[in-house]
Structure 1
Amino acid sequence: MNPEDSKLQSDFTKPLTRVRLLFRNPISLAGAALALVSLANILFLFLIDLLSEKPSPYIGILAYMVGPTFLILALVLIPLGIWFDRRRRRAQRPGTTLRYLRIDFNDPSQRGVFAFFFSFVIVFIMLSVVGSYRAYEFTDSVQFCGQLCHSVMNPEFTAYQLSPHARVACVECHVGAGASWYVRSKLSGARQVFATAFNTYPRPIPTPVHNLRPAPETCEECHWPKRFYGAQLKVFTHYASDEKNTPRQIRMLLKTGGGDPSTGSPAGIHWHMNISNEITYIAGDDKRQAIPYIHVKDMQGRITEYMSKDSPLTKEQIEKLPRRRMDCVDCHNRPTHIYVPPDRAVDESLLAGR
């Protein structure tokens, strides 16, 4: 063994020297530098997001998605560089036996290094937990859904802000509670990110959403389906296109009713609610505008079938074609992303005095 190798082996037995020698390669040094820069940026962006009254979605994606990705990459580079450096030194000195780190807590310097490393791991785990939760919150936020993909969701987001559900988060309806639908939504979101990145998403956004979670698991978290509403007066105000914008009103008494016999007679518009009655149908088109077949099962178990005279289905088609159980969104198909026609928008503005 030459004197240089002897000195290297001697230095390697010293704890602090061993640490310095482990980082004596460009890959590990680059990883350490990248880790420090990434951590500093994450903390800085986290403070901005925490203290801002109206945080930007781009700060969130940088702080909770881009920054942690670079930090993890940097931490992977450090041991990778050490491994490559050990291979290189073995190849350069075939007869040299490279010694591994020897942990001895009787050595005060080693105890200090271990305490520093253990403290770093604890802090890193805590930051990872907080960052992961913030990333989870961010991906479920309205800003992430509506503002991050401006060109795609801007019309839907604009309509959402003026809708009756403007204070309900997107995920409350599009995802709902539970892990299974959360995972499903993220997998679907990955496909949507790919479509956005490569500009392959459809224009306009197609409706209805065929993979939307069933309404009883989302809408009924807020709306009480068993309540009997009775009749409700609805007033529609229109204005003529003359000089005085002459108003005229149409008053309609809507027999809303209900579908639960314990609160009222299952009658009115809501008699079909999936409480006492079960209605399934077959749609003839993707928009669910043509309904050639309807299957009704009432509370006594009696079955009634309705067939279209214009486009009747055969028994084989009825058995093979997919059926959909009727729920809230079959009637209330635009409860949030409401696009008002121009004439109706003018009427509503005149009525509001705008």
Structure 2
Amino acid sequence: MTNDPSPKPPSLLRNPVSLLGVAVASVSTAFGLPMMFIDMFSRRAHPYLAVLIYLVLPFVASGGVALILVGILWERRRRRRHPGQPTPPLPRIDLNQPTHQALVVVALTAIMVVVVLLSVTGYQAYHFTESVKFCGLVCHKVMKPEYTAYQHSPHARVACTQCHVGPGASWFVRSKITGAYQVYAVAFNKYPRPIATPIKNLRPAQETCEQCHWPAKFFGAQQKTFTHYLTDEANSPWQIQMLIKVGGGDPQIGSTAGIHWHMNISNEIEYIASDERREVIPWVRTTDREGRVTEYQSTEQPLSPEQIAAGRIRRMDCVDCHNRPSHI
């Protein structure tokens, strides 16, 4: 007479933490997949729906998977502390058995599906967080004035991130880290009104503005026409013609004179501002292409050597003059 085989130990998934994780991951995936296809084939942009699909639900689903793993480890540890509760052994895979072959195929297929879904959602999340709609519409209450001005500016076809982030992974990561505080400020109503300028952590203009505006091509004078309208009955147009001495900073093209003499091609301009808005500048230092250094001090508010040493020296770039290039 043979004894009956011992009953199979219950699965490690049978614990409240793992079951909660299964429910969270399943529900978030079941909601996220249909909405992702709706968003992909929709002709209209839905910024808040995109936040839910590409940012919130993947995070929730990942949290559900984490709960499953934590629950399994917790249940395994709990059973080891109680010898009377058997712990199931690790699975053994024998590809010579058709059942195991089918399980491996199913597991690999599931992994491929998950990888594809994560790749699509990650790609969409990246592009969505870099889009103008995300910057201007998700934080609607905060950015509405800036977004409205941007849409009517000369840079209306330039994405926000091309100036505020620029190319490269380092500034992308840095922008997301600073963006975490911005999310907190919006959620808890901690942001300033109006948004303070200048922006302290803005990327240098040499790495953003000058990717399109090539300083070496700036030369000569530019004629500018300003059109106004009088207050008479016909609102007669009244034009002012100005010849702006743009100049440049590259002696190979023209005389290094004019407004763009300050461009950092042949000259390096540095200054110390004594106020947060960089409107009071008591100290300036210039370095020409031959290395000659000239310092200028305010006669009304001169800085002592100690103040210069302790001051924050900023290298002049485009936004020091063009401080509202898009939000105008």
Compute the TM-score of the two structures, normalised by the length of structure 1.
Answer: 0.85
Structure-2 separation of matches of 1:315 and 1:101: 72
Change (3 A) 1:260 1:95: same
Give the Å deviation of 1:39: 1.7
Indicate if the aligned counterparts of 1:283 and 1:289 stay in contact, CA closer than 8 A: yes
Q: 2:139 aligns with which of 149, 157, 160?
A: 149
- The Cα offsets for residues 162-220 of structure 1, whole Å up to 9 and x where unpaired, read as 11111111110001111221111111100111111110110000011111111010001
The partner residue of 2:211 within 204, 208, 221 is 221
Matches within 5 A, 1:130-209: 130-209=120-199
User: 1:28 maps to what in 2?
Assistant: 18
- Residue identity opposite 2:84 in structure 1: G
Q: Distance in 1 between matches of 2:13 and 2:142?
A: 46
**Corresponding residue of 2:91:** 102
Moved more, 80-89 or 186-195: 80-89
Partner of 2:302: 312
CA distance in 2, matches of 1:227, 1:240: 37
Structure 2 CA distance for aligned equivalents of residues 95 and 297 of structure 1: 81
The 3 A distance-change label for structure 1 pair 246 and 95 is: closer
Residue in structure 2 matched with residue 285 of structure 1 by the alignment: 275
> Which residue in 2 is equivalent to 1:348?
none
- Runs of 4 or more consecutive aligned structure 1 residues displaced over 6 Å after TM superposition: none
Deviation at 1:242, TM superposition (A): 3.5
Distance 2:251 2:77 in 1: 78
Question: In the alignment, what sits opposite 1:78?
Answer: 68
Query: Which structure features the higher share of helix residues?
Result: 1
In structure 2, C-alpha distance between the alignment counterparts of 1:193 and 1:306, rounded to whole Å? 42
By how many angstroms is 1:145 displaced? Answer: 1.1
Q: 2:249 aligns with which of 259, 275, 288?
A: 259
Contact 2:79/2:86 (8 A) holds in 1? no
Query: How far off is 1:137 after superposition?
Result: 1.4
Q: Paired residue for 2:41?
A: 51
Quote how far apart the aligned CAs of 1:288 are. Answer: 1.0
Q: Residue 55 of structure 2 aligns with which residue?
A: 65
User: Residue 59 of structure 1: CA displacement?
Assistant: 1.8
User: Relative to 1, partners in 2 of residues 1:313 and 1:96: Cα closer, same or farther, differing over 3 Å?
Assistant: closer
| Selected match of 1:238 from 228, 231, 236 | 228
Equivalent residue number for residue 301 of structure 1: 291
Shift of 1:322: 1.1
Aligned partner of 1:347 in structure 2 is none
Q: CA deviation at 1:298?
A: 1.7
**Secondary structure class of the residue paired with 2:216:** coil
- In structure 1, give the amino acid aligned to 2:258: G
- Following TM superposition, by how much is the alpha carbon of 1:287 offset from its aligned partner in structure 2, in angstroms? 0.9
For the aligned residue pairs, the C-alpha RMSD in angstroms reads 2.2
- How many residues get paired? 325
Residue type of the alignment partner of 1:127: L
Match for 1:199: what amino acid?
N
Distance in 2 between residues matched to 1:239 and 1:113, nearest whole Å:
78
**Cα displacement (A) at 1:26:** 4.2
| 1:242-265 superposed Cα distances (whole Å, 9 cap, x missing partner) | 433343322111011111011111
Contact 2:227 2:238 in 1 (8 A): yes
The superposition leaves residues 257-295 of structure 1 with CA deviations (integer Å, 9 ceiling, x where unpaired) of 111011111111111210001111111211111111111
Confirm or deny: 8 A CA contact 2:12 2:88 kept in the other structure: no
Distance 1:97 1:23, change over 3 A: closer
Q: TM-score, normalised by structure 2?
A: 0.91
- Report the alpha carbon displacement of residue 57 of structure 1 after superposing the two structures with TM: 1.1
The reply on whether 1:326 has 2:316 as its aligned counterpart is: yes
Structure 1 residues 84 and 307, CA, compared in 2 at 3 Å: closer, same or farther?
closer
Within 2, Cα distance between the matches of 1:98 and 1:238? 85
User: Which residue identity does 1:45 align to in structure 2?
Assistant: M
Which residue identity does 2:209 align to in structure 1?
Answer: C
Tell me the CA shift for residue 84 of structure 1.
4.4
Q: Following TM superposition, by how much is the alpha carbon of 1:85 offset from its aligned partner in structure 2, in angstroms? A: 4.4
Structure 1 runs not aligned, ≥5 long: 13-17, 339-354
Q: Which amino acid aligns with 2:136?
A: G
Instruction: State percent identity of aligned pairs.
Output: 55
Distance (whole Å) between structure 2 residues aligned to residue 331 and residue 84 of structure 1: 61
Residue 7 (structure 2) aligned to one of 3, 7, 10: 10
Q: Tell me how far 1:87 sits from its aligned partner.
A: 5.5
Which secondary structure does the structure 1 equivalent of 2:253 belong to?
coil
